[in-house]
């Protein structure tokens, strides 16, 4: 029986991004050995989107209930917000920048969420 999912983020500076996830985003986790942190995620959900002719890819987004409040907390912790909030049909979308420089999408859903089932 499948009992969970393991999400992998690839990073140019894994140690700094792990510290960001632990210290700034405040995700709890375990040390799997040698400082290799594995984080407990909030409830999650998965969707399958059509590629519409583009090569298949995967995306990891963080979700929150109140985007403006969450952005205020992240800004107070020195987090760079990389995109202005955009209103989408399915929710409000922005992104933040971990230390490695990649973007991490963050959104407030306006669609039914599966993770509360």
Residue 1 within any structural domain of the chain: no
Sequence-distant (≥ 6) Cβ neighbours of residue 21 within 8 angstroms? 27, 29, 37, 39, 98
Is the predicted pLDDT of residue 7 greater than 80, yes or no?
A: yes
What percent of the chain shows pLDDT beyond 70? 100
**Segments forming the whole domain that contains residue 23:** 14-109
Q: Under DSSP, is residue 65 helix (H, G, I), strand (E, B) or coil? A: coil
Contact 37, 23 (CB under 8 A): no
What percent of the chain shows pLDDT beyond 90? 84
Is the predicted pLDDT of residue 85 greater than 90, yes or no?
A: yes
Residue 30 within any structural domain of the chain: yes
Instruction: Note the pLDDT of residue 3.
Output: 86
Residue 117 within any structural domain of the chain: no
- Residue 95's domain is classified under what CATH number? 3.10.180.10
Q: Is this model's pTM higher than 0.85 or not?
A: yes
Contact 19, 11 (CB under 8 A): no
How many domains does the chain divide into?
Answer: 1
């Amino acid at each position: 029986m499948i009992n969970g999912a393991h999400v992998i983020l690839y990073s140019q500076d894994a140690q700094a991004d792990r510290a960001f996830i632990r210290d700034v985003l405040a995700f709890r986790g375990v040390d799997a050995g040698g400082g290799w942190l594995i984080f407990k995620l909030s409830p999650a959900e998965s969707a399958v989107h059509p590629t519409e002719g583009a090569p298949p890819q995967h995306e990891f987004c963080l979700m929150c209930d109140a985007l403006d409040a969450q952005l205020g907390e992240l800004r107070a912790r020195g987090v760079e917000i990389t995109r202005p909030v955009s209103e989408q049909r399915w929710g409000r979308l922005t992104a933040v920048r971990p230390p490695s420089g990649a973007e991490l999408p963050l959104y407030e859903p306006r669609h039914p969420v599966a993770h509360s089932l």
